[in-house]
Amino acid sequence: NYIYYVGGICGKNVGGTVKNSYNTAVVTGYRFVGGVCGHNSGTVKDCYNKGNITSRATYVGGICGHSTSSAYSDIVMRCYSTGRIPSADGYAGGSNGGLGGYRIKDCYNTGTINGNGSWTGGVCGGTSVGEIIGCYNEGSVNSGENENVGGITGSLYKNCNIYNCYNNGNVT
């Protein structure tokens, strides 16, 4: 019931590289749940997820539940997710649930994202430090009656940037 760091490929990536990998299965956990990595502080590139990702709490993403670092790098790049996120209590995103100190580059999402809490986005639920570059969303993004909901990201804080991104999905 309270399983943290759950991923279709890797539960927790600390400084490693996940490349040319994919998940097509349902992935279920409590917190830090991702189609490829539950928590990432390494590199994830050229990966995809087609499975539905379910979390009972926060930080759930089609590719990574959460990515963090103290230095900018192209941490999640050329990845996509078509799987649904049927429910999450916050920080839910098509690529990443949360982003702190990294870049999401050239990624996209076509799956429906349903967040029951704040910070829900088509690409990233919430960005505290980082950049989202060349990404897009075509899936619906829904967050009930909560705040911080966006086609690309639910929140973008000081020193964060979005470049060359677009959204075609409905945002509710």
- From first to last of its 172 residues, the chain has per-residue pLDDT tens of 789 999 999 999 998 999 999 999 999 999 999 999 999 999 999 999 999 999 989 999 999 999 987 666 668 999 999 999 988 888 999 999 998 878 899 999 999 999 888 899 999 999 888 899 999 999 999 987 778 999 999 999 888 899 999 999 999 9
DSSP 95-138: SEEEEEEEEEES-EE-S-EE-SSS-EESSEEEEEEEEEES-EE-
Task: Tell me how crowded residue 43 is: count the other CB atoms within 10 A of its CB.
Answer: 18
Q: Are 128 and 98 in contact, with CB atoms under 8 Å apart? A: yes
pLDDT at 74: 67
Q: Beta strands 76-77 and 124-133: pairing type?
A: unpaired
Edge to edge, the sheet with strand 31-34 lists 4-7, 31-34, 58-61, 90-93, 120-121, 149-150
